[in-house]
């Protein structure tokens, strides 16, 4: 069964304290893995798409990496405005439907 | 460029009623998809419309339906509401390619069924 699992469920960090969020997946024929950020009361906002193992993408303090079984979202020297829920989703080769993880709620304290 | 607009923002209905939600995609985007988000189940795909045709469908009962108009605006309808339909309903638009394009989400409609 296709599955996406994110960990931890919640993460509290001090401002400037770097860490990583994990997204592990079991899916046959990965077409792409997506990272989104969701703020309270808003819809998810696209961050990255990764297509193949070894691929990396960066945006400001965020860096996403992909292996054959999991993806990491690394956050370097986070700021309070990075507080949000980070969602991971995968798409199979043969199916348009995205399979979403439950998300990691990130809280950055000043 | 205006983002994805969903109306209404909040809705309160009672069991057995029906509801219609509206979504206006980003100008030039021809694909509109709908998602249900709940604390327990997370984000779940309902259906996707492209050029007024339902192109993909998730695993929801027939009470959930949708349509898309010639201007790409989309509506979603839920008939015979159940308590379990309480959720945030999100609409997302994308340009053309169904597989590779990123999704642009609206802020959602928060539906409460009493």
The model's pLDDT over A58-92, given as tens digits with 9 standing for 90+, comes to 999 999 999 999 999 999 999 999 999 999 999 88
Residues of A in Cβ contact (< 8 Å) with B90: 43-44
Pairwise CB contact (< 8 Å): A43 & B99: no
Q: How far is A79 from chain B (nearest CA, A)?
A: 24
> Whose CA is closest to B97, among A103, A49, A70?
A49
What distances in angstroms separate CA A42 from CA A16, A27, A75, B13, B16, one per listed residue?
Answer: 25, 28, 21, 21, 28
pLDDT band at B99 (very low <50, low <70, confident <90, very high): low
pLDDT band at A27 (very low <50, low <70, confident <90, very high): confident
Phi, psi (rounded to 5 degrees) for B84 = -70, -5
Q: Domains in chain A, ordered, with CATH?
A: 3-94 (2.60.40.10)
Matching residue, tokens 């997370």: B42
By C-alpha distance, the chain B residue nearest A4 is B42
Pairwise CB contact (< 8 Å): A49 & B92: no
Helix/strand/coil for A8: coil
């Amino acid at each position: 069964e296709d599955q996406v699992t994110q960990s931890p469920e919640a993460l509290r960090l001090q401002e400037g304290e770097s860490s990583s969020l994990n997204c592990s997946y079991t899916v046959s024929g990965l077409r792409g893995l997506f990272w989104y950020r969701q703020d309270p009361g808003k819809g998810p906002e696209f961050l990255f798409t990764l297509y193949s193992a070894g691929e990396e993408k960066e945006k400001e303090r965020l860096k996403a990496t992909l292996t054959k079984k999991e993806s990491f979202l690394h956050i370097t020297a986070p700021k309070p405005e990075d507080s949000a829920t980070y969602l991971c989703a995968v798409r199979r080769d043969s199916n348009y439907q995205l399979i979403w993880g439950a998300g990691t709620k990130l809280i950055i304290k000043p | 460029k205006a983002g994805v607009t969903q109306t209404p923002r909040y809705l309160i209905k009672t069991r057995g009623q029906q509801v219609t939600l509206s979504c206006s995609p980003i100008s030039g985007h021809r694909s509109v998809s709908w998602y249900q988000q709940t604390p327990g189940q997370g984000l779940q795909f309902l259906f996707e419309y492209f050029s007024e045709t339902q192109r993909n469908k998730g695993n929801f009962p027939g009470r959930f339906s949708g349509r898309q108009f010639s201007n790409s605006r989309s509506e979603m309808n839920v008939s015979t509401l159940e308590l379990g339909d309480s959720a945030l309903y999100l609409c997302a638009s994308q340009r053309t390619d169904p597989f590779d394009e990123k999704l642009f989400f609206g802020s959602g409609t928060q539906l409460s069924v009493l």
